[in-house]
Chain A
């Protein structure tokens, strides 16, 4: 297995290969270590590396992924470099249409822009209320609002598409 792993903004190349003894041969950025890995329960990984024991927990939501190594928490992104989709998106970056998604469940309380209007990166598009607080969902890029699918009063779930900016 070959992965591209981005940890806290830095990209690493990771190769994992099962060994005959039941462990894993792990090559990270060219350095090789032998590891023993076990998932004792969902989202918990026990890693033994040269006698060192690490408990790693996986925090996954609709919008992002974090690894907890002990008390330290890292934003992580995992890609399979052979996947066409991964390559396309790595290249696409800020170009093309961007979907605006709800990062948490809540209710739409206001729509701040109209379809066809011009917006700046970071400009508020839609206001979602959850747990007595209002959160402005901001535009990820400068462009034109192609579509607004959010309607005032509607309930949303994490990952729901609220609109598109191109």
Chain B
């Protein structure tokens, strides 16, 4: 086993990996940018090296600086976490060239899965079911028209190098195809420097379900069960659960077997995830493979009892998988809430700043993977993910109850977070009945009253409103840091005070503290 590992990441995932290393007696090396000196991963690691200024392109994305820190510290391996360099084949190659083990797949597997069209070609050969369409970039508009006619509208145009919804267009009819193709191409060129676009049949209101796989370097590959990731916003996952309520044991086994086939076709090693789109008839189609540890890996850990980061380290150190497929049993139910620094009063726009108060939940069935602490300044430069709150229960209903109880205890002040959103999702009757697809969250938000977030019944809300009114007054009386007239309003534009004087008063009250 390695004696020292460098973690090329920050935030909650860096802390999560540092914890696994400490459990296994492995020394840890953190890297950090100028604004992350006070970040939790720097405080929790055994060694820490400054790698540059705040912008990720000058620090966390700098292969040379990270390799330099690894050499200086004598780290034998690098864990990339997720995001940043985790799916960058050149970084994995750079590690190999420097004699440092990259904890993840080989550069070859990463390159194969990195391009969506080359992945489709490979899977076509391996006989994996995928969404009907082309496996090569479109050469002309006429070719696009011919393919679309053959598979039938609606179709989806997608960028080969794509991700995050960029270069993606839903096309309902032939009339729309030409302009959609042009705009998808130019967006793909701008976003990825590659204008290649291909066609897929559009699956309307699909579910997004993915399968976790683990492969060692001795040819053994196992699947660890699926995760339902249909609760999304702006193509970003918000809440994930395992197992998926729509997947039965037979479907799970079939998906698992396909996922293993995908991994083997790519000569895949270490932890990876095969993503599927699932239509309402339970047909599943290969979407892509994520060649890294996923944000939502804890729900799989809770339902299988395996520690994926421990296993990643053991596989990278050359050990054989300690479990066979028959040892994998999915038990209980786990749901993860991604706690983002986002403003629910401003369309969930990021909300960085200083955390002035932090009350954190614990208790039965609750796991919290967090990168924040009270007094910490959340920087403006990175992803807004602060923490993950995961609830576990013997069944889905109990997992939901435990999470709602834990969210009741969770409170962050100083910045805005999306904690209130999860109370709404978990209290929603469609969610509770597992009637979800990728459009669920947008539909739920469209019917919301922005100034109240509550899952309480109508008549109880009246009482709670009265309590809120009394409490606002009591805070003003008992705590002089909030004087009347200094308060804001829901919208911020029709408030009781001009912004400048409020700002001045806020400044004054800061000095009173």
- Which residues from chain A sit less than 8 Å from chain B, CB to CB? 1, 3, 5-10, 12, 14, 16, 24, 26, 28, 35, 37, 39, 41-45, 47, 49, 54, 56-80, 83, 85-86, 89-90, 93-94, 98-99, 101, 103-107, 130-133, 135, 140, 155, 158-161
Residues of B within 8 A of A73 (CB): 420, 452-454
Smallest CB separation, A152 vs chain B (Å)? 16
Contact A62 B473, CB 8 Å, known A43-B413, A70-B408, A72-B454: no
CA distance A47 to B380 in the complex (A): 36
Q: Mark B337-378, 1 if CB is under 8 A from A, else 0.
A: 000010101100111110011010000000000000000000
Residue of B nearest to A45 (CB): B471
Residues of A within 8 A of B434 (CB): none
Residues of B within 8 A of A62 (CB): 488, 502-503, 506
Q: Does B280 contact A (CB under 8 A)?
A: no
Residue from A49, A72, A85 in contact with B452 in the complex, judged by beta carbons closer than 8 Å: A72
CA distance A35 to B461 in the complex (A): 19
Please tell me if the beta carbons of B464 and A72 are within 8 angstroms of each other in the complex: yes
Stretch at the interface among B101-109, B173-181, B474-482: B474-482
Residues of A within 8 A of B476 (CB): 1, 3, 78
The 16 sampled A-B contact pairs (Cβ below 8 Å) are: A3-B484, A6-B489, A14-B470, A43-B356, A56-B471, A57-B359, A61-B488, A62-B502, A64-B345, A64-B488, A71-B456, A79-B496, A80-B485, A131-B341, A131-B382, A155-B380
Q: Does B446 contact A (CB under 8 A)?
A: no
Interface contacts (Cβ under 8 Å), in number, total 252
> A76-B487, A85-B501 provided; 17 other pairs, C-beta below 8 A?
A7-B465, A9-B490, A12-B466, A14-B473, A24-B477, A41-B357, A42-B356, A44-B357, A47-B474, A49-B467, A60-B482, A69-B467, A83-B485, A104-B349, A130-B349, A132-B382, A161-B500
Please tell me if the beta carbons of B489 and A58 are within 8 angstroms of each other in the complex: no
Contact A133 B469, CB 8 Å, known A78-B484, A140-B493: no
Please tell me if the beta carbons of B352 and A131 are within 8 angstroms of each other in the complex: yes
CA distance A75 to B482 in the complex (A): 15
Please tell me if the beta carbons of A159 and B506 are within 8 angstroms of each other in the complex: yes
**Interface residues of A, dominant DSSP:** strand
Residue of B nearest to A14 (CB): B473
CA distance A76 to B492 in the complex (A): 11
Residue from A70, A93, A104 in contact with B464 in the complex, judged by beta carbons closer than 8 Å: A70
CA distance A107 to B54 in the complex (A): 13
Residues of A within 8 A of B494 (CB): 93-94, 140
Residue from B408, B450, B469 in contact with A71 in the complex, judged by beta carbons closer than 8 Å: B408
B434-457: which residues lie under 8 A (CB-CB) from chain A?
A: 449-456
Residues of A within 8 A of B468 (CB): 7, 56, 67, 69, 72, 74, 76
Q: Does B227 contact A (CB under 8 A)?
A: no
Residues of B within 8 A of A43 (CB): 356-357, 413
Contact A71 B352, CB 8 Å, known A61-B488, A78-B473: no
CA distance A39 to B478 in the complex (A): 8
Residues of B within 8 A of A75 (CB): 345, 450-452, 489-490
CA distance A47 to B503 in the complex (A): 30
Residue of A nearest to B341 (CB): A131
Residue from B404, B453, B496 in contact with A86 in the complex, judged by beta carbons closer than 8 Å: B496
Please tell me if the beta carbons of B451 and A9 are within 8 angstroms of each other in the complex: yes
CA distance A132 to B383 in the complex (A): 7
Q: Does B40 contact A (CB under 8 A)?
A: no
Q: Does B292 contact A (CB under 8 A)?
A: no
Residues of B within 8 A of A35 (CB): 470, 474
Q: Does B172 contact A (CB under 8 A)?
A: no
Residues of B within 8 A of A159 (CB): 499, 502-503, 506
Q: Does B206 contact A (CB under 8 A)?
A: no
Q: Mark B57-91, 1 if CB is under 8 A from A, else 0.
A: 00000000000000000000000000000000000
Smallest CB separation, B487 vs chain A (Å)? 4
Q: Does B251 contact A (CB under 8 A)?
A: no
CA distance A30 to B465 in the complex (A): 15
Q: Does B384 contact A (CB under 8 A)?
A: yes
CA distance A59 to B467 in the complex (A): 15
CA distance A56 to B380 in the complex (A): 29
Residues of A within 8 A of B353 (CB): 61, 104-105, 158
Contact A76 B472, CB 8 Å, known A28-B466, A44-B357, A86-B484: yes
CA distance A61 to B503 in the complex (A): 11
CA distance A130 to B493 in the complex (A): 21
CA distance A24 to B453 in the complex (A): 28
Please tell me if the beta carbons of B464 and A74 are within 8 angstroms of each other in the complex: yes
Please tell me if the beta carbons of A8 and B475 are within 8 angstroms of each other in the complex: no
Smallest CB separation, A39 vs chain B (Å)? 5
Residue of B nearest to A61 (CB): B416
Q: Mark B318-352, 1 if CB is under 8 A from A, else 0.
A: 00000000000000000000000101011001111
Contact A61 B467, CB 8 Å, known A1-B473, A72-B452, A140-B493: no
